Amino acid sequence: MALKATIFKAELQIADMDRSYYGSHALTLARHPSETDERMLIRVLVFCLHAHETLSFTKGLSSEDEPDLWQRDMTGRIEVWIDIGQPDEKRIRKACGRAEKVYIYCHSGHSAQLWWQKIHDRLGRFGNLTVINIDVDSGQSLARLAQRTMQLQCMIQDEQIWLGDGDTSVQVHPTVWKQPE
């Protein structure tokens, strides 16, 4: 018998002073049986960092043809493609060909560094690709915010990022490994 996704609900308040974006979002998150709380909360964090009225979660781990999040215009064209993890070069090439901007968020510490060392030379030609690493400590701290029903606040100012639930606040330290020139 196949395991089903676990549903999480999040009321999310975002104050992004860097982009002048302020908004409230009611999110329904389906956590795939193989997904950890850390990865799910990183998806929420990434949603905060790219919040837009047309940004949405996709089937994610359940689909090879879709990223974890994307932003599409009214015609269906992909403006922003966001993957979380360590996609292979073929997937990155496909994403860069289909979307205006592509973001990859890594978060697994040493294995992410090994992945990056192995693949970074082959990604230089993609002018629409940004690769960002979320440090292990931030990821593990984010995982502690996971509840079936969450009330989260995210504040972004001067490239400093905080995500919290009222009782606990996590400062996240992303490192940009590649960005468009």
* Residue-range domains of the chain with CATH: 6-178 (3.10.640.10)
Q: HSE (CB half, 13 Å, CA atoms) of 55?
A: 20
Written as tens digits, the pLDDT of the chain (181 aa) is: 557 888 999 999 999 999 999 999 999 998 888 889 999 999 999 999 999 999 999 875 555 678 999 999 999 999 999 999 999 999 999 999 999 999 999 998 899 999 999 999 999 899 999 999 999 999 899 999 999 999 999 999 998 999 999 899 999 999 999 999 7
Q: Kindly state the DSSP code that residue 18 receives in the 8-state scheme.
A: T
Q: Are 95 and 71 in contact (CB under 8 A)?
A: no
Strands (E), 6-157: 6-16, 21-31, 55-57, 69-72, 78-84, 99-106, 129-134, 149-157
| pTM given for the model | 0.92
Short-list 70, 181, 73, CA closest to 129:
181
Dig out the tokens for 14 from the structure: 């975002």
Which strand ranges, in their side-by-side order, compose the sheet holding 169-172? 21-31, 6-16, 149-157, 160-164, 169-172
